[in-house]
Chain A
Amino acid sequence: MEEAMRLASGFAVWMIALMVLGVVIFQAVKFILLARDAGRDIGMAKHEINSAIKTGAITAIGPTVAIVIVALSLIPFLGEPLTLMRIGIIGSAPIESVGASLGANAYGTELGSTGFNTQAFTAVVWTLCLGGAGWLLFVALATKSMSKLEKKVINKSDKNKKIMMVVATAAMVAAFGNLASAEMVKGMEYIAAVLVASASMFIFTSLADKLQKNWIREWSLGLSILVSLVVGYFII
């Protein structure tokens, strides 16, 4: 176990984890620059572009805290760099923990047990990295085809364009309807958290409209999460 954890936070794993993070950071910067130029081309105002970037950055704070908390529960078993690499790209903690236990089980041991040696750790790394590669492979190979198909549909007629807008909005609403309900079926406190955040969002949005202050809109999700947590604190 100790030997495995020494390997897990050793030089090799750190190096590769940091390089992967470097790629992710480079990509984010590159795409922001590309989108900024394209935004100007389609006639977006400078303040709109800045507002989009700012809102994205603010909105990421809440989820990042949630991600870190889950990530911390994986560190004792996987070490810092591998956790960073798996949570920092593609992964979501619940899926990664399933993959990690499967890897350890295949070697005939369990995560965190005394029999968890360097080879068991390597088995876990193989499982997680090959497992995560599936998404990347599909995205690298299929995104271009998906966009070709989309363009074909949209270019056919104006009616199709409108239908695509309805589909995009409905898909987004469905995704959040599903994610929110999955939390709500966990219990009354979770229902309260969803409802309080929704109500706060209503209030912040109407405030933003009334006062004509766009910064309220940019902070609305972050503030709603905070209000919901404060109320949650007093409920339990």
Chain B
Amino acid sequence: MALKEEQAGTAVSSAGSSGMEQFHAKAHYWGRLTVWAALILTVSLPVVLSFFLGHHPGWNVILSAFLAYAGIVAVVWVLEPMMYYTILGVSGTYIGFLTGNVGNMCLPAAASAQNAVGAEPGTKKGEITATLAIGAASLVNKVFLIPMILVGALLISRIPDHIQQVFPFILPAIFGGVLAQFAIKKPIYGVIGLAVGFVINLTPLVVYMKMLLCIIITIGICLLLERKNVTKTAQ
């Protein structure tokens, strides 16, 4: 820790952009290392169950289940990291996809922190703020998750039914709250995002297509809008 402090101290004098370069280089290194480690560990679990403990269900079963599942999620493997990259940045992508729950936890944490600090998404400060927030969110999530899962079943059964009825509203409340954060700063963006989202959600498209379309259309409209504003102020 003390060593880190000194290093940071000497680095302050160097320009901000080289600091970001260095940050990205380190983020790629540690990000890849940790993601590969998690990847190898996760795949080692079924290998252990199949070949060390002798519960192998047969390759036919595994292959047919995997192909059926991949048919549903394979597109998402590629689409999700790509569409969230503009929001999460380099380091956010590594943490977000390892800790999971990108939409319901990482994005709200990043957005709220940017709001609290007053940093714009898509800037250096915005990216650092998002990384700090997502990292902290990931930690809190893991620290709470373990005991809550262990005692959770017991705890939940003790919570009276009439209070349990509000649990389904946690997610809509999160999304509504974060949307309002943006609407306060850029009301038009908020209206566009919600309107596009609403129209798309009335269509019977698959979930990931909805998200992709919504992002593309909203970006398109916002870019057109900004261009219009620029020409207006130029005149």
Question: A60–B197 contact, CB under 8 A?
Answer: no
Give 1 or 0 for each of B186-207: 1 = CB within 8 Å of chain A CB: 1001101111111011100001
Q: What does the 1/0 interface line of B205-224 toward A look like (CB < 8 Å)?
A: 00100110011011101110
Judge whether A42 is part of the interface by a CB distance below 8 angstroms.
yes
Q: How many of chain B's residues touch chain A, expressed as a range? A: 35 or more
Q: A55–B133 contact, CB under 8 A?
A: yes
Contact with A along B48-78 (1 / 0, CB 8 A): 1110110111100110111011101110111
Note all chain B residues with C-beta closer than 8 A to A137.
Answer: 39, 77
Known contacts being A23-B34, A181-B198, is A63 close to B105, with CB within 8 Å? yes
Partner of A59, one of B46, B87, B112: B112
A211 within 8 A of B: no
Find chain B residues with CB under 8 A from A5 CB.
none
Q: Is B173's beta carbon under 8 Å from chain A?
A: yes
The residues of A that contact B176 with a CB separation of less than 8 Å are 180, 193-198, 201, 224, 228
- In the assembled complex, B14 has its CB within 8 A of some CB on chain A: yes
Contacts across chains A and B counted by CB atoms under 8 Å? 597
Beta-carbon contact of B174 and A225 below 8 Å: yes
Q: A141-164: contact bitstring with B at CB < 8 Å (1 yes, 0 no)?
A: 011101100100000000000111
Interface secondary structure of A, over-half rule: helix
Q: Which residues of B contact A179 (CB under 8 A)?
A: 103-104, 171, 175, 197
| A169 proximal to B (CB < 8 A) | yes
* Residues 169 to 224 of chain A near chain B (Cβ within 8 Å): 169-185, 189-190, 193-202, 205, 214, 217-218, 220-221, 224
> Which A residues are within 8 Å of any B CB, using their own CB?
7, 12-13, 16-17, 19-21, 23-44, 48-49, 51-69, 71-72, 75, 80, 83-85, 87-92, 95, 98-99, 102-103, 105-107, 118-127, 129-140, 142-144, 146-147, 150, 162-185, 189-190, 193-202, 205, 214, 217-218, 220-221, 224-225, 228-229, 232-233, 236
Other CB < 8 Å A-B pairs besides A31-B135, A84-B146, 8 of them?
A12-B48, A34-B30, A44-B125, A106-B61, A170-B215, A174-B217, A179-B175, A221-B112
